[in-house]
Amino acid sequence: MIALLLIVAIVSYYGAFIPDIFGYKKYLFLLAFFAFFSILFLISAGRIKEITILKKYLGEHPKIKNLIEKIHEGGKCFHSIKSIILIFGIALLQWFLNSLSYFLIACAFSINEELNFFKSAALVFTSAFAASLPSMPGYFGNIEFAVSKIMNIWGINYETSLAYAFSVHFIGYISITVLGIFFIYRAGYSLKGIFNYHKNIKNQEG
């Protein structure tokens, strides 16, 4: 998310649709502050559960304890500068490729003049934000609504913007799903086995 926010700040400035984005310094500072302490929490999550005052509470609330342990496991990747640079670099590459795919689909719709690469990158951020809100499985509805509304603001008609929003979402969803299933079976697992595993986990927790 940090990498995505950085890309949005850059493309908003150079894309000239929010030319004064760096004028919102206090908001950008708050985002940077939040990002810094989020990473700090990831790194120190393992030590938090060892605090004497919290040990008893976490012992009585195993779900919260398990959550902190999972956060700690995820935060281990931030224990070296090399890992941080690698993660950040891969994240930038991922969001860049997402932006490129949005732009290529805009070319297919012949709206690439109205929807240039910079605006395509902004729509990737819009999609990511929309997907973070409660919705039906696959985030269908949220992404289409948010992306089409932004495109309407940029002067693209309703029919084209809605068709474009559905296309980028559907293509991305199908691509990830098919690749995910392929690598699941390539790794020696099966969908049935995964469903049974999660079912057993829920039964144990219940």
Q: pLDDT digits over 45-91, tens only? A: 666 666 656 666 666 777 777 777 777 676 667 667 787 788 878 88
pLDDT confidence tier of residue 10, bands split at 50, 70 and 90? low
Same domain, residue pair 131 and 188: yes
**Domain membership flag for residue 100:** no
**Domain membership flag for residue 85:** no
**Domain membership flag for residue 168:** yes
For residue 40, the number of C-alpha atoms closer than 13 Å in the C-beta half-sphere is 6
**Domain membership flag for residue 95:** no
SS3 content of the chain, % helix, strand, coil (to 5): 80, 0, 20
Report the alpha-carbon distance of residue 104 to residue 129 in Å, rounded: 21
Mean pLDDT of 30-39: 68
**Domain membership flag for residue 52:** yes
For the chain, give the percent of residues with pLDDT over 70. Answer: 67
Mean pLDDT of 150-165: 92
**Domain membership flag for residue 136:** yes
Alpha helices (runs of H) in 49-139, residue ranges in sequence order:
52-60, 62-75, 81-108, 117-131
Same domain, residue pair 63 and 115: no
Q: Which of 59-68, 87-96, 111-120 has the highest mean pLDDT?
A: 111-120
pLDDT confidence tier of residue 19, bands split at 50, 70 and 90? very low
What are the φ and ψ backbone dihedral angles of 135, each rounded to 5 degrees? Answer: -160, -175
Report the alpha-carbon distance of residue 163 to residue 49 in Å, rounded: 49
Same domain, residue pair 170 and 124: yes
Q: What is the mean pLDDT of the chain?
A: 78
| Signed CA dihedral, 165, 166, 172, 176: sign only | positive
What pLDDT is stored for residue 157 in this prediction? 93
Same domain, residue pair 68 and 125: no
Q: Which is more confidently placed, 55 or 122?
A: 122
Q: Which of 2, 99, 133, 176 is nearest to 145 (CA)?
A: 133
Contact 18/12 with Cβ under 8 angstroms?
Answer: yes
Inform me whether the pLDDT recorded for 25 exceeds 70. Answer: no
Same domain, residue pair 53 and 141: no
Report the alpha-carbon distance of residue 198 to residue 194 in Å, rounded: 6
pLDDT confidence tier of residue 21, bands split at 50, 70 and 90? very low
Q: Which is more confidently placed, 102 or 71?
A: 102
How many domains is the chain partitioned into structurally? 2
What pLDDT is stored for residue 49 in this prediction? 61
Inform me whether the pLDDT recorded for 165 exceeds 50. Answer: yes
Q: Which is more confidently placed, 18 or 39?
A: 39
pLDDT confidence tier of residue 4, bands split at 50, 70 and 90? low
**Domain membership flag for residue 105:** no
Same domain, residue pair 19 and 71: yes
Strands (E), 89-186: none
Contact 12/21 with Cβ under 8 angstroms?
Answer: yes
Residue 156 φ/ψ region, left for φ over 0, alpha for ψ in the -120 to 50 degree band, beta for the rest = beta
Same domain, residue pair 142 and 195: yes
| pLDDT tens digits, one per residue of 192-203 | 887 887 777 777
End-to-end CA distance of the chain: 33
Domain containing residue 156: 111-206
The residue among 36, 62, 79 that closes a domain is 79
DSSP-derived secondary structure letter, 17? S
Same domain, residue pair 129 and 43: no
Q: Which of 202, 136, 206 is nearest to 169 (CA)?
A: 136
Is the whole-model pTM more than 0.75?
Answer: no
Same domain, residue pair 120 and 192: yes
The burial of 167, by beta-carbon neighbours within 10 Å (0-12 exposed, 13-18 middle, 19 or more buried), is given as middle
**Domain membership flag for residue 118:** yes
